Amino acid sequence: MKSLMTKTLTRCAVAMAVLAATASAALAADLKVGLSVSLSGPNSSLGVPYSKGMAAAQSYKGEINGRKVQLVVLDDGSDPTTAGRNARKLIEEEKCDVIMGTSGVPAAIAMAQVAKETKTPMIGLTPIALDPADNPWVVTVAQPTQLMVDAVVERMKRNNVKTVGYIGFTDAWGDLVYDALNKATAKAGIKVVSNERYARADASVTGQVLKIVALKPDAVMTGGAGTPGALPFLALQERGYKGGIYGQHGLINPDFVRVAGASGQGALMPTGPIIVAEQLPDEYPTKKIGLDFRSAFQKVNNAPTSDAFSAYSFDGWMVFADAAARAKGEPGTPEFRASLRDAIFSTKEVVGVHGVYSFKPGNLYGVDERARVIVKLDNGQWKLAP
């Protein structure tokens, strides 16, 4: 019902935006942001917060250098093909100056292809795996997996972990985390003793966990996401494993906390600082804007925010707002889009709620160590563990 309502609302918003655009075409040209996210389908649990976060950002900073910013939102129905078509619609019909999206990595890649072809800047909201040399029009505000896993391994080193067992998904996510773990542990002098895998739909990981427990590693790293990511935590607790259990940002999710229950107690994992904005020390660069984002979100959506996704939208908007203020030319023209791209790639120290962004040509990512904190699961709550 709720998603249906958001859908209708979004459609109304789109219609209004189109009307407004045609009506005000004669006046000073507005800036236009095109957003394609999954408001329906299996990815909608991520897509809906993305679009709500963007609405909060628009109300927080709706004017740049005296120009109004319009937001056009389209639903991709969790389908990469539709996402690509949406990107084309946003650029060719709506004449957007920048496109943002989307809730799934494959769909974001489809959008990036269109951005490259039409020479339109794109700000991705997920960790897109693309060759930056091949995609000079795309950046992303998400943290690279390696950065997050590095933080975990640093923490392991501090906790005197010498050997670590790994258990993760059989899919690309499990591989990505395993590779990042191997890279980070090689530098830290920690030995990875196992590479156990399980499928998202599996009912039990007893066999895999028995094997890990028999190897007696000092700690276990898990490479899962969402509710299926809770399975190793439950099995390790059942087998009475006493070492530390580490996770990664794929597990920062209220449903994981619900299913893992007591077995997740004390688990350490990395995340963007927005998750624990209230607990950050006052001098932390993202604290102030993080709290501003919380109140802007509350005002626009009449609900509190606790997820990481709406915050990525907010940061995408911040990066765009900073670049648009420096870009030259009339919005809606190819010259302006080229200038906006150059401005995005010369972004320096723009403070967002997830981190501080500095983009350079040849790199999709623009965050550093300030974009991650380690949190500890304590009685079902995320607690900052400095």
Partner 1 sequence: MTWDVALILGIDGLANGAVYLLAGLGLVLIFSVTRVVFVPFGDVAAFAALTLAAFETNRLPPTIGLVLTLAVLALLTEVGSLIRRGEHRQIPKALLLWGVLPAVPCLLAWLAARAGVPASLQIAATVLLVVPIAPLLARVVYQPIADASVLVLLIVSLALHFLLSGLGLLFFGPEGSRTAPLASGSLALGDGFTVSGQVMLMVASAIVLSGLFFLVFERTVAGKALRATAVNRVGARLVGIRPARTAMLAYGSASLLAGLIGVLIAPVTTMYYDSGFIIGLKAFVAAIIGGLVSYPMTAIGAIAVGLVESFASFWSGALKDVIVFSLLIPVLMLRSFLTPHADEDEEEVDQ
Applying CB under 8 A, the residues found at the interface with partner 1 are: 42, 45, 167, 170, 196-199, 201-208, 210-211, 214, 226-228, 230-231, 238, 255, 258-259, 261
The encoded tokens of residue 189 equal 């002098």
The nearest distance, CB 187 to partner 1, in angstroms, is 27
DSSP per-residue codes, 16-46? HHHHHHHHTTTSSPPEEEEEEE-SSSTTHHH
> 207 or 361, CB closer to partner 1?
207
To partner 1, the closest distance from the beta carbon of 263 in angstroms equals 10
CB nearer partner 1, residue 182 or residue 206 = 206
CB of 136 to partner 1, least distance (A): 36
Q: Exposure string (b/e) for 5-22, b if CB count within 10 Å is 16 or more?
A: ebbeebeebbeebeeebe
The Cα 244–Cα 340 span in angstroms is 46
State in angstroms the smallest separation of the CB of 235 from partner 1: 10
Question: φ and ψ at 358, to 5 degrees?
Answer: -140, 110
Coil vs helix vs strand at 221: strand
CB of 107 to partner 1, least distance (A): 17
**Secondary structure E strands in the chain:** 31-37, 63-64, 67-75, 98-101, 122-124, 138-140, 163-169, 191-198, 219-223, 244-246, 268-271, 350-351, 356-357, 373-378, 381-384
Which CB atom, from 69 or from 236, has the smaller least distance to partner 1?
A: 236
Q: How many CA atoms lie within 13 A of 136 on its CB side?
A: 11
Please tell me whether residue 153 adopts helix, strand or coil conformation: helix
Closer residue to partner 1, CB minimum distance, 256 or 359? 256
Residue closer to partner 1, measured from CB, 216 or 328: 216
Give the shortest CB-261-to-partner 1 separation in angstroms. Answer: 8
| Minimum CB distance to partner 1, residue 249 (Å) | 18
User: Which residue number, 210 or 325, has a Cβ lying nearer to partner 1?
Assistant: 210
Burial (CB < 10 A; 0-12, 13-18, 19+), residue 39, is buried
2/160 with CB nearer partner 1: 2
